[in-house]
Amino acid sequence: MKTPLSGKTLPELSSFVKELGEPAYRAKQLHSWIYVKWAKSFEEMTDLPVDLRAKLEEVAQVSLLKLAHMQVSKDGTRKYLFELPDGKFVESVLMSFNDRESLSACVSTQVGCAVGCTFCATGFLGFTRNLTAQEIVDQIMCIQRESGKRVSNVVYMGQGEPLLNTEEVITSIHTISKSVGIGCRHLTVSTSGIIPGIKRLAEEELPIVLALSLHTPDRETREEIVPISKKYPLPKLMEALADYADVTRRRVTIEYVLLAGVNDTDEQARELAQLVRDVPCMINLIPYNPTESPDGITPYKRPSMKAQQRFKHLAESTGKTVTIRLERGTDIDAACGQLHNAYTK
Ligand code: SF4
């Protein structure tokens, strides 16, 4: 197999050119062609000698991932399905906001997911394997090469639980900030609440945003909709979040998918406000995006606008900032796992 270069760090590129018997400065040239000029082929790398380009053509390839399918939504959101070298697939999304300059890429960290959230299309797939740091980074580079647009923010919110693949996620964060050129402050890692992963991430003291997919303040409902939460009790999870905010000096984000009749009652809104009271955080409400399970059933419904606003108002009672997330790509399969499921059906 040819060696894919996009997604590699500068030291990794240096080892690669050394093995080829080339001088060390060639690594910097390759690094610049990949990360600054977003080259799609070795042919474009015109300051490399012709015989080196021919050699690279034989032993290497620019991209690790292959674009298998893409959907573009009316609002400009682009959803990508990438094929990995072993024939597996992962999804990434590019969200554009017409009113803002910034572009956010949502990346996957695993093929499938073991957490099994009942409202998530990826949860239906089960877990296959972890992605490597290079596979995570190349999703962003592929998006930039395909769209010709600079990604300004990255959210680790695609397929998979990032903190069940913590070491590769941490390595990818370092590569994104050093090579891709997107600062840590523009990176968000979203977890379903894996306490050892939160602690490990805190050790790195990276100024990234940590988001917790909480989805309900009551234990019973949470264990039902986020089955892995049985392992990580809520009080301990809140403690880990408060410690994380303390070490990194950054507010965490509480993500809350609103499911009609499941977690949108007045009592749950008030309990939510109490639960996160001592955690430096803001709360992001996400109205549910209907997802079909493999048997064709849509298990949940989105609450009405009025119910969403009421929940927001009650959740604000202890003074936390509460927002309702702007929806992207609802006319395409933009919830994680949906494109994969539709494509591989
Ligand atoms: S929401 Fe995230 S953690 Fe839960 S099953 Fe889906 S991919 Fe996994």
In the chain the domains, ranked by start, together with CATH numbers, are 3-61 (1.10.150.530), 66-344 (3.20.20.70)
Length of the chain as a residue count:
345
Over residues 117-171, the pLDDT tens digits come to 888 877 777 899 999 999 999 999 999 999 999 999 999 999 999 999 999 999 9
- For residue 160, which of 139, 174, 145, 183 has the smallest C-alpha distance? 139
Q: What is the pLDDT of residue 289?
A: 79
Residue ranges around ligand 1 (CB below 6 Å): 113, 115-117, 120, 122-123, 159-161, 192, 336
Say how many Å lie between the CA of residue 307 and the centre of ligand 1. 25
Q: Which residue has the higher pLDDT, 340 or 117?
A: 117
Q: What is the pLDDT of residue 295?
A: 63
Q: What is the pLDDT of residue 315?
A: 97
With vertex at residue 78, the alpha carbon angle to CA 185 and CA 184, rounded to the nearest 5 degrees, is 10
161 is catalytic: no
Q: What is the pLDDT of residue 120?
A: 83
Q: Specify the residue for token string 């927002």.
A: 323
Over residues 302-328, the pLDDT tens digits come to 999 999 999 999 999 989 999 998 666
Query: Is the separation of the CB atoms in 110 and 167 below 8 Å?
Result: no
With vertex at residue 119, the alpha carbon angle to CA 100 and CA 159, rounded to the nearest 5 degrees, is 60
Coil, helix or strand at residue 12: helix
Question: How does residue 96 score in pLDDT terms, banded at 50, 70 and 90?
Answer: confident
Over residues 35-65, the pLDDT tens digits come to 999 999 999 999 999 999 999 999 999 999 9
Q: What's the mean pLDDT in 100-123? A: 88
Q: What is the pLDDT of residue 100?
A: 62
Say how many Å lie between the CA of residue 126 and the centre of ligand 1. 10
Q: What's the mean pLDDT in 160-189? A: 97
CA–CA separation, 289 vs 145, rounded Å?
29
- For residue 176, which of 67, 35, 25 has the smallest C-alpha distance? 35
Sort residue 160 into left (φ over 0), alpha (ψ -120 to 50) or beta: left
Say how many Å lie between the CA of residue 229 and the centre of ligand 1. 12
Class of residue 93 by CB neighbours under 10 A (exposed 0-12, middle 13-18, buried 19+) = buried
Which of 129, 159, 161 to mutate to test ligand 1, by most ligand atoms within 8 A of the CB atom?
A: 161
Question: How does residue 75 score in pLDDT terms, banded at 50, 70 and 90?
Answer: confident
Torsion of CA 53, 171, 110, 259, to 10 degrees: -130
113 is catalytic: no
Is the model's pLDDT at 334 over the cut of 90?
Answer: no
Question: How does residue 193 score in pLDDT terms, banded at 50, 70 and 90?
Answer: very high
